[in-house]
Chain A
Amino acid sequence: MSASQATLLMGILSLPALLLQDNLLGIACQVLYVIFLAIGRGRKFRILPNLILLISVSSAHLLQPNGLHLVSLGGFSVTLGALLLGARKALTLMGLLYLSHYMVSGRPEFPGKLGKLVAMQFYYFERITTGWRSIQPKRPFIGAIDRLMLLLEDSGSEPASISTKGSLRATTRVLITNAMHVLVLWSLFFAGYLGLLPAFG
């Protein structure tokens, strides 16, 4: 098994732990954990988009009052149940997003014909980005794109190559680390499920 496949497998095994989490504190801890995992693999974390997601999904749920009435804002009732449900949903989505970032950080190779096509797509993507740097002038944009596509076509008759080198094999350390991540995420799930973590609302 390659290192990237091990990471992918770790993510697949951990997905249910996030999806099935019912405890708000539990999901918050899981999200923090996967955010750190993604950052550790060089992914950027930006607060604003996550904050927008959290606020927008939570506020959308307020339209359907549920549970303890907290406050009224101009005839609009803010309820605890709706607020918590929205927050939990937003956190789950954030968790899935960063887990996904982590899962593909090693650029896993996918099997079958689609996998080969995606590999070819990335091969051309690299050629396009490299070719784009040599295109001058870049204005007008249409002319520049046209020259780029013609350039790619002209060089297409040259021996085109894509890397078929497999990814690095997963070392014992990589396997243990990924197993530990699965364990942590599932432990947080069970901590929430068994009531070991405080429940809100």
Chain B
Amino acid sequence: MTRLSDRHIPARVEFVALLAAFALFLSTVEYMIPKPVPFMRIGLANLPLIIGLGILSDREYFLLAVLKVFGQGLVTGTIFSYIILFSLAGTAASTLVMYVFYRFARRFISLLGVSIAGAMASNIAQLQLSRLILFGDAARLIAPPFLAVGLVTSILLGLFAESFVVKSQWYAKQKENRP
């Protein structure tokens, strides 16, 4: 057994690993929640990415996205399957869009808006991928329900994230320590 600090990983990177672990934890919580339709995802695991916008540096933020995808792929065993491509495409698109919205339009958009924008970007990227890999042109048939479900769940997640950043003492502490 070795101390973490012996591994020469800076404390901030360790903090990113903690947030990535938090994302993994939330995805297991989501797994236990019954869903009315099979393709419905609440996207709870994206919460660390949304709240991370306010407490992480740019580099840390993108590292968190990479760790989230990689970790989820390992936990679910899908890392060498087509599912990882969907996860990667969705997370890359949403991470980038949320980052741009938060960094450059923070005055005009709340975390709720950021969450909706991220979810729509993620869903569009995944729909494009499903057109290429799975369904061909028939992907347009699943687009309306897929986007509608994404909209609803992103609103719920955005409201949750807004409430979390207001109420959480831990978040307030991290915000103070932000580099």
Contacts and interface: CB of A to CB of B under 8 A. Distances in A.
Interface of A: 11-12, 15, 38, 43, 49, 52, 56-57, 59-61, 63-64, 89, 93, 96-97, 99-101, 103-105, 107, 114, 116-118, 120-125, 127-129, 132, 142-143, 145-146, 149-150, 152-153, 159-165
Given A100-B84, A122-B24, 18 more contacts: A57-B134, A61-B138, A63-B138, A93-B82, A96-B81, A101-B78, A116-B9, A117-B63, A123-B17, A124-B20, A125-B75, A128-B24, A132-B25, A142-B168, A146-B164, A146-B169, A150-B170, A162-B1
Given A49-B38, A121-B20, A125-B71, A142 B9 contact: no
A85 B9 CA distance: 49
Contact of B4 (A43, A101, A160): A160
Q: Is the interface of A mostly helix, strand, loop or mixed?
A: helix
Which residue of B4, B67, B79, B82 has the most chain A CB atoms within 10 A of its CB atom?
Answer: B4
Contacts of A124: 17-18, 20-22
11 contacts: A60-B138, A63-B137, A96-B82, A104-B80, A120-B14, A124-B18, A149-B22, A149-B168, A150-B173, A162-B7, A164-B1
Given A63-B138, A128-B22, A142-B168, A161 B1 contact: yes
B77 A118 contact: no
B62 interface: no
B138 A120 contact: no
B146 interface: no
Contacts of B84: 100
B174 to A, nearest CB: 9
Contacts of A128: 21-22, 24-25
B22 A142 contact: no
Contacts of A159: 3
B83 A118 contact: no
B81 A64 contact: no
B154 to A, nearest CB: 18
Interface in B1-32: 1-5, 7, 9, 13-14, 16-18, 20-22, 24-25, 28
Interface residues of B, number: 51
A15 B81 CA distance: 10
Contacts of A43: 77
B81 A100 contact: yes
Nearest to B22: A128
Given A99-B80, A104-B80, A120 B17 contact: yes
Contacts of A161: 1-4
Interface centre among B3, B77, B160, by most chain A C-beta atoms within 10 angstroms, is B77
Contacts of A116: 7, 9
Nearest to A105: B77
B109 interface: no
B114 to A, nearest CB: 18
Given A61-B136, A118-B71, A97 B83 contact: yes
A61 B167 CA distance: 49
Nearest to B130: A60
Nearest to B131: A60
A164 B79 CA distance: 22
A104 B74 contact: yes
